[in-house]
Amino acid sequence: MNGLGSREFEDALVESTCSYRTEQARLDHRILIDVHQLWRSQAARFGEELARDSVIEELRLAWCCYRGKAIGTVELSVEMHERFPELLSCMSEGLLDSFLASKATEVLRPLTPELAAIADRRIAQRLREQGLPHDWRAYLRRIADSLDPTAKQKRLAQARAARYVSFQDEEDGTGTVFARIPAEDSHACETRIRDLARAIRQRGDTRTQEQIRADVFTDLLLGRGDDHPPVHTVVNVHVPLGTALQLNNSTAIVDGMGEIPAHVARQLLADPNNVVRKVLTDPDTGVVQGLGRKRYRPTRRQRDFVHIRDRHCRAPGCRRPIVEIDHVEQWHRDHGTTDPANLQGLCRINHKLKRMPDWKHQLDPTTARLTITTPTGREYTSTPG
């Protein structure tokens, strides 16, 4: 401990973390500055809305991050420049990092531009004179409520209007369900799941409490064990040939479920209550092959093939569902064929970007390997599945 007592040593460690946070705030400021300049540069070419989507996708690819991170960075950069320049300056002074800045924009968003400017100056003065308050969000809410008595009602209304449910495939054969719903409904759901799980556990069930809660949640949603009819789904199971014939214990890929153990794949294939379509793949490459016709609109068979081959949006790292079957080489302009070798599955955002002149896609007809070139000239690749 370099001759220091334990208390002095630990205090020095805390002090060093504070200095790192200061440097991180300054780095966050530089990121927001550069992102805003990138957005302005592309806005001059594409318009503000298309530039926003383009920069978000550019950052997602360059940073190898999830889209929400890129969206948050771009939106924070624009909002800080346009509505909170004083707080942006505080970031350059190491007083505020991106996380805390995003909380400020979130709470202060309902304010009019005039009131936002007052809040911006008042909060920046507090940061420079007294530093960060310990309860940052509570402090921000007090500022907003003092400037606009209706701010709280607006904030609550906006939050409730933004309710949603999202589903995320994981890489270990599980998935995550996240719901943002009104607080009273959330508490009611929690109470019901807790009471049902507790009753099941008291009957001597050997599952853990968390496992029971997860299973109760799933059973309620799918109507298992209730008076509701069960939910049937059509799933495409990508099974290496040896697995389907029970010659080995390789894993299988299920669209929307990810990688699952071989014995589970066999159960899915054998269960008469499931509508399962078997897709046998090459055990070495996993590539699905197919045929198409030379016409503009893909046939139903071709669309099914692209969905089965690509499984989700083909943009590198994008896991969004396919909503558009797109010609890589345009049918009208570039005489591209309507064939799986020239078709790709894209989400709505990447389909819109692909139509911009500075976003280029190239698909290898043999391996279905996709190469995307962004407006900055960077290249990114993805393989099917």
Residue-level pLDDT at 156: 76
pLDDT in tens, 241-260: 555 444 455 566 655 555 66
Among the ranges 115-119, 192-196, 233-237, which has the highest mean pLDDT value?
115-119
Check: CB of residue 263 under 8 Å from CB of residue 250: no
At residue 229, does pLDDT exceed 60?
Answer: no
Q: What is the mean pLDDT of the chain?
A: 83
Structure token pair of residue 91: 């970031």
Residue-level pLDDT at 237: 56
Q: What is the DSSP letter of 341?
A: G
Residue-level pLDDT at 245: 46
Check: CB of residue 384 under 8 Å from CB of residue 309: yes
pLDDT in tens, 361-371: 999 988 889 99
Instruction: State how far the alpha carbon of 41 is from the alpha carbons of 27, 33, 48, 73, 203, in Å.
Output: 21, 12, 10, 16, 65
Residues 6+ apart with CB under 8 A from 22: 94
What is the phi/psi pair of residue 88, to 5°? -65, -40
Instruction: State how far the alpha carbon of 121 is from the alpha carbons of 50, 124, 165, in Å.
Output: 32, 5, 37
pLDDT in tens, 315-363: 999 888 898 998 888 765 555 677 778 899 999 999 999 988 899 999 9
pLDDT class of 295 with cuts at 50, 70, 90: low
Tally of CA atoms within 13 A in the half-sphere of 60 that contains its CB: 21
In this structure, what is the dihedral angle of CA atoms 20, 26, 32, 33, given to the nearest 10 degrees? -150
